[in-house]
Amino acid sequence: MTAENSLPEDAVSHEELLDLGARLQQALKNRADPQQPVSQAVTDVMLAAFIARNLHQGGFAQLFFNAQGGYLREMADMLQNVNARNTLNLYERAVRVCLADKPGYQSFLASDFVSDSALKNALHEVSLDYFASGLQFELEAAAQLRLVCQQARIWLRQHSCL
């Protein structure tokens, strides 16, 4: 990453975000009352970690494949909540790619991911634009991610999970 595209000094690193997301996921599995609602910050951090990991590993094709059609609206809402405008715009473009070819989308989700797929290739094109933009998710959302991560850490402490 170039100096102008590096994270602010007080930003949450990629590794910290993934670690916090994993700890939140584990805490939710272990809590006494699984029906008790959690804060929006907890949800946002878990979704942010999922998005960051998948975009980093394989772009939008990896993200959509691993999501398997779940939490698509929630991911868009989280991107909006953390002011990740560039990522949200490209995410919405990827959604439109999937909606334009519903049979191809379903076939892609049922595939082994490595098999050739026109839809996967179209999602890779969106990913190329995302990476070419130089404004990746954690960078553009750094300020808001820092805040929601702080709130999620408070939730973990309150639930004796930190």
* Tokens matching residue 111: 């595939």
Sketch the domain layout of the chain as residue ranges. Answer: 12-158
pLDDT at position 44 is: 98
Helices (H), 31-141: 40-67, 72-81, 85-100, 102-110, 118-133, 137-140
* DSSP label of 25: H
pLDDT digits (tens, 9 = 90+) for 52-108: 999 999 999 999 999 999 999 999 999 999 999 999 999 999 999 999 999 999 999
Q: What is the pTM of this model?
A: 0.91
Nearest to 38 by CA among 141, 158, 134: 158
pLDDT digits (tens, 9 = 90+) for 22-56: 999 999 988 878 788 899 999 999 999 999 999 99
Residue 9 has pLDDT above 90, yes or no: no
Its CATH class, for the domain covering 12-158, is mainly alpha
Side-chain half-sphere CA neighbours of 83 within 13 A: 10
Amino acid at 16: E
